[in-house]
Amino acid sequence: MNKIAIAGAGAMGGRIGTHIANAGYDVTLIDYWEDHVQQINNNGLEIQTETETYTVDIKAKHPEDVSEQFDLVIILTKAMESERMINDLLNVDAIQDDTAILTMMNGLGHDERFSKIVPMKQVFLAVTMWTAGLRGPGQLLLEGTGTIELQRADGHADDRTEKINNIFNYAQLNSKISDNVFHSIWSKATLNSVLNPLCTILDKTINEFAQYTNARKMITPIIEEIVEVTKQKGVSLSVDELVEKIENAYPIEAQGLHYPSMHQDLYKGRLTEVDYLNGQIVEYGKAFDIPTPNNEMLTHLVHQLEMKK
């Protein structure tokens, strides 16, 4: 895989793209944000870490300006922009029949949506525990470490899976090939479907939310609905383990000082990804005739808040 595109070059896209570019691969960042693309092309991508600030020279383009074909396209847009991005890249012939299209976006159902645009055999799913921040156009905050887990969406063996995994590991992204990536995707989506909307609605950090004595009583019914849905999706999750996973995020030394991404989007005047988390859980619940009133109410409440922005 010689040519790699990062489609959606915000915080996480910038982090993944920077790692891969620093490993010597031919990487192009693709984004809709004019100021961001221009800043990267004019001055490079400024990286701030815990210990230093430096600049990475890397190509950046708008989708309509792309004039090359890619072996691997990593989708890291906001979920609501992902299908538009794939179609825009198809329109300029950047995606070919053998191009691997990998997403490690938050949320659920990306494989189902992507397979309506390209064959499922081209779709790869990944879940990441890396974090990143966007300080401004062309400016990233990269702290801590993380992991990536990936698999072809249909579960079939594919030599491209090994190639992508090798690229990630050569780029020091701590990657592994999964035999059940959906388990990890749903586990992370559960955490996001609980903490993201609750912290957003209540305007609290994760640790501030945890100070409430009855926080566990709030999160457990949400998790129980999700676990019932996952059973019908062929994924086995434990309510108790998910409660523990979420409560492990509460301490300040973990993620406690953090406002979840949904909170950041809402309070910066952007639409949230609630429809790809709680909203998608509601849709699955309807399909399987499983009641999901808690997830449905969270979806409505976040949409109400979006109306005020």
Integer Cα distance of 13 and 27 in angstroms: 11
Residues 141, 155 contacting (CB under 8 angstroms): no
Integer Cα distance of 92 and 63 in angstroms: 8
Q: What is the dihedral of CA 174, 117, 234, 156, to 10 degrees?
A: -60
Residues 6+ apart with CB under 8 A from 9: 17, 29, 30, 31, 36, 37, 40, 60, 76
Using CB atoms within 10 A of its CB, is residue 142 exposed (0-12), middle (13-18) or buried (19+)? middle
Query: Catalytic annotation on 188?
Result: yes
Question: Among 3, 188, 233, 245, which one carries the catalytic annotation?
Answer: 188
Number of residues assigned to the chain? 309
Q: Which residues are catalytic?
A: 188
